[in-house]
Structure formats: structure tokens, C-alpha cells
């Protein structure tokens, strides 16, 4: 097979990125290992413990429970599953702001829970009044997002925790994308800041690990126990993961990326990405576009549909929010040069077309 994967030089829509060279190398070495069978593959199982311990360090948790999942979707499904298992009612509901990721829709569907979606406010964050009036005795879980997929916003996590506690529900924070940049901001988002029970934080997004490496964290082993099933013919006795055979490459690459980059490498990356996002937002504003000011390295801007289509036709990998704004995620592979070249294409495409006069060649 001679085909090479596509380059990253025009990718502005992805929440994944080029893995760090150390992560790539570790992934290749551990390609044939299965952390789903720790009795047979003890080395990768030990590495997974390390990965979870390091994720705990990022998220204010001294003795974290958790595992490296296939991605944010699996981690979110499992968090809903924990809440459902622990709920006393047989008709549990989950309350989530509309900015929550669509993986919760899958979770609700698979797990048979009622997903209640509440509006966000004018700052694109969970509307606390709406959450308060939506929760009830059947609420098993309240979801807050720390780094929303569309606008990079951080919900008021601590207040959501209070609301969850008022009805004896759990609090899950989805920091799938934001988790590796938030440690360098003033946001209050993690286990050390608020009554968070479970969290999604994905090394394969801002963590610069290879795909697949998602992260599910829980405040205590007891929460994870809600997921455990017996594994009669394995040397280990139970399994809390959703999938069986899992990617040792993902686990090893997550450890390698975190060992190399935590904390200074990630801090430098955050600063660089945030500067790029702020610079890009300014550049759009100077051109007269409406911009949703970036609070994390993600810019949303209102450009006409025809311009968006023309940029895509020019090879730019860009995507849109549900309401149609162009969305640019300043991932590690996104450089200032790329953004300048993107803006040059935008200027060229938006320039008034000069209509040739009769007689012109």
C-alpha cells in the first residue's frame, strides 16, 4: 500500500493533531499490546496506571481512578453509565447544556436514559437558571463542559456541582478537548476546584498523543466499580472498560506525550495556540467580520456561506458551528504561517471581482 495520510498543513477544523514524535515512537513500539488483558500484557497495564496517575496530576486528583479509553465518546458514555448504575431511580435523566457534545446523545440512546438539554446563555455557557429548573429527583447526572466543541467555552463547573448536589446527582466534566490547555488558565474546572465526580480528558486531542487515546477519570475506585463486569477466563478478575481488546499504542503514546510535555511543553503549546487564536480573531475583526472572542484556542467567525465553500474548495479543512459560523481550532499543528496563508486566500476570495471591460484581453 503506497498511499500516504494527508498532510496537516491545511487542517483547521480538527481537534486531533500530529502526535509528538515521542508519542508516535511509543505508539509504534506498543502496537501489538492489549491493555484489556493486563494478566498477559502487564507492561502496558503498568503504563496505563502511569497515564491515569499523570492525568490525575493535571486535574487536581491525588488518587485518580480511570482508564485510557478509545476517545471522548467512550469516556462520556461510561460516565453516564456510572451515573445510571448509581442512581436510585429506574427512570434516570441527564441534564446537559446545548453546548454538550453529541456523544451524550449516543450515551442516552445506548443506556436508555432521558437526556434533557438546556440552553446556554449569551456567553455560550450553561444557563444556570435553566439547569436549576430542569433537574429533579430523577436526575442522575449533570454535565458541564470545560472547553466546548464549538466555541471553546468553560461552563461554571462549581455552580453546576452545587445544583447537582441539591438533587443528589453526580457531576461530570467533559474536558475532552480543553483538559490539556486549562491547567495554564485561571478557569476553575477540575476535581480540585469543585465537586466533580467524573471527567473526560483526551490525550489524543490537545495532549498530542496518537489516536486512539481518550481518558476517563473518576474521583474514586468505587465509582469505577459501578462499571465492572466479571472476566471469568482472564487472569484479571474484572473489567470496567466498555471495549475489550484496547489500543496499547494509544496508552503508550499518551504516557510518552505526557512524560515529555507535562507541564512545560504543554504550557508553551497553550501560549502559542492562544496567541494564534487571539491574533486570528483580531485579523478577522479588522476585516469587519463578527468574531466570537476566543477564551481558549478556538475561533468562531461569521463568514458568508459562499466564502466558506470557496475556502474549502481551495483545500482548507474547515468546519462550521450548528449556527453556521466558521470554526478554527488552533491545534499544535496550526502555525502562524498557516493562518497567514489562510487569510491571504480569504482576502483573495472576498476581493471584489473585477469585471473585464469590452476590449480588455
* Contact residues for ligand 0PR, defined by CB under 6 A: 13-16, 71-73, 76, 101, 103, 145, 149, 174, 176-177, 202, 214
Q: Return the number of the residue (83 or 283) whose C-beta is nearest ligand 0PR.
A: 83
CB of 212 to ligand 0PR, least distance (A): 8
**Contact partners, residue 311, CB within 8 Å, separation at least 6:** 318, 326, 342, 345, 346, 349
- Shortest CB 68 distance to ligand 0PR, Å: 12
Q: What angle do CA 96, 146, 27 make, to 5 degrees?
A: 115
Nearer to ligand 0PR, 161 or 214 (CB): 214
Cβ proximity to ligand 0PR: between 160 and 283 the closer is 160
* Four-CA torsion 50, 153, 163, 77, nearest 10 degrees: -50
**124 and 148 Cβ atoms separated by less than 8 Å:** yes
Structural element, H or E, at residue 217: strand 214-218
DSSP letter (8 states) at residue 75 = H
Query: From residue 186, how far is each of 130, 312, 334 by CA, in Å?
Result: 25, 35, 24
Order of all β-strands in the sheet with 290-292: 290-292, 298-302, 326-329, 319-320
Q: Compute the least distance from the CB of residue 147 to ligand 0PR, in Å.
A: 6
Q: Minimal distance in Å, beta carbon 174 to ligand 0PR?
A: 5
Q: Smallest distance, Å, CB 52 to ligand 0PR?
A: 17
Contact, 5 vs 317, CB < 8 A?
A: no
Quote the least distance from Cβ 276 to ligand 0PR, whole Å: 18
**Which residue lies nearer to ligand 0PR by CB, 149 or 274?**
149
CA 359 – CA 361 distance, rounded (Å):
6
CB 289 within 8 A of CB 302: yes
> And the C-alpha cell for 58?
493535571
* Nearer to ligand 0PR among residue 214 and residue 294 (C-beta): 214
Closer to ligand 0PR by CB, 38 or 212: give it: 212
**Residue closer to ligand 0PR (CB basis): 52 or 283:** 52
C-beta of 332: minimal distance to ligand 0PR in Å? 13
* Least Å from the CB of residue 296 to ligand 0PR: 11
Q: How far is CA 255 from CA 15, 30, 245, 295, in A?
A: 19, 12, 19, 28
Contacts of 290 (CB under 8 A, 6+ apart): 301, 302
* Smallest separation, CB 284 to ligand 0PR (Å): 21
Nearer to ligand 0PR, 115 or 283 (CB): 115
Q: Which is nearer to ligand 0PR, 216 or 224 (CB)?
A: 216
Where helices occur in 40-198 by DSSP H, the ranges are: 42-58, 72-86, 103-111, 128-134, 157-166
Total Cβ atoms within 10 A of residue 235: 10
Amino acid at each position: 500500500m503506497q498511499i500516504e495520510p494527508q498532510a496537516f498543513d491545511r487542517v483547521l477544523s480538527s481537534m486531533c493533531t500530529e502526535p509528538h514524535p515521542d508519542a508516535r515512537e511509543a505508539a509504534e513500539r506498543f502496537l501489538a499490546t492489549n491493555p484489556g488483558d493486563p494478566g498477559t500484557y502487564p507492561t502496558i497495564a503498568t503504563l496505563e496506571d502511569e497515564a491515569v496517575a499523570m492525568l490525575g496530576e493535571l486535574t487536581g486528583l491525588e488518587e485518580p481512578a480511570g482508564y485510557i479509553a478509545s476517545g471522548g465518546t467512550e469516556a462520556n458514555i461510561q460516565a453516564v453509565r456510572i451515573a445510571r448504575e448509581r442512581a436510585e431511580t429506574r427512570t434516570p435523566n441527564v441534564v446537559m447544556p446545548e453546548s454538550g457534545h453529541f456523544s451524550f446523545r449516543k450515551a442516552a440512546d445506548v443506556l436508555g436514559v432521558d437526556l434533557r438539554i438546556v440552553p446556554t446563555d449569551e456567553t455560550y455557557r450553561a444557563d444556570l437558571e435553566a439547569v436549576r429548573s430542569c433537574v429533579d429527583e430523577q436526575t442522575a447526572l449533570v454535565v458541564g463542559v470545560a472547553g466546548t466543541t464549538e466555541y471553546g467555552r468553560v461552563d461554571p463547573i462549581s455552580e453546576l456541582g452545587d445544583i447537582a448536589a441539591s438533587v443528589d446527582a453526580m457531576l461530570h466534566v467533559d474536558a475532552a478537548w480543553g483538559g490539556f490547555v486549562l491547567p495554564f488558565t485561571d478557569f476553575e474546572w477540575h476535581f480540585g476546584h469543585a465537586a466533580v465526580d467524573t471527567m473526560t480528558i483526551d490525550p489524543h486531542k490537545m495532549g498530542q498523543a496518537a489516536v486512539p487515546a481518550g481518558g476517563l477519570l473518576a474521583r474514586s475506585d468505587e465509582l469505577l466499580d459501578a462499571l465492572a463486569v466479571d472476566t471469568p477466563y482472564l487472569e484479571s478478575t474484572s473489567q470496567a472498560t466498555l471495549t475489550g481488546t484496547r489500543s496499547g499504542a494509544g496508552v503508550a503514546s499518551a504516557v510518552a506525550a505526557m512524560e515529555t510535555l507535562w507541564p512545560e511543553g504543554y504550557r508553551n503549546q497553550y501560549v502559542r495556540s492562544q496567541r494564534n487564536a487571539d491574533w486570528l480573531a483580531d485579523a478577522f475583526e479588522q476585516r469587519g467580520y463578527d468574531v466570537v472572542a476566543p477564551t481558549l484556542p478556538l475561533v468562531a467567525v461569521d463568514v458568508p456561506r459562499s466564502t466558506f465553500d470557496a475556502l474549502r474548495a481551495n483545500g482548507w479543512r474547515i468546519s462550521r458551528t450548528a449556527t453556521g459560523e466558521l470554526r478554527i481550532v488552533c491545534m499544535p499543528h496550526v502555525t502562524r504561517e498557516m493562518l497567514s496563508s489562510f487569510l491571504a486566500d480569504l482576502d483573495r476570495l472576498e476581493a471584489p471581482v473585477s469585471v473585464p471591460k469590452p476590449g480588455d484581453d
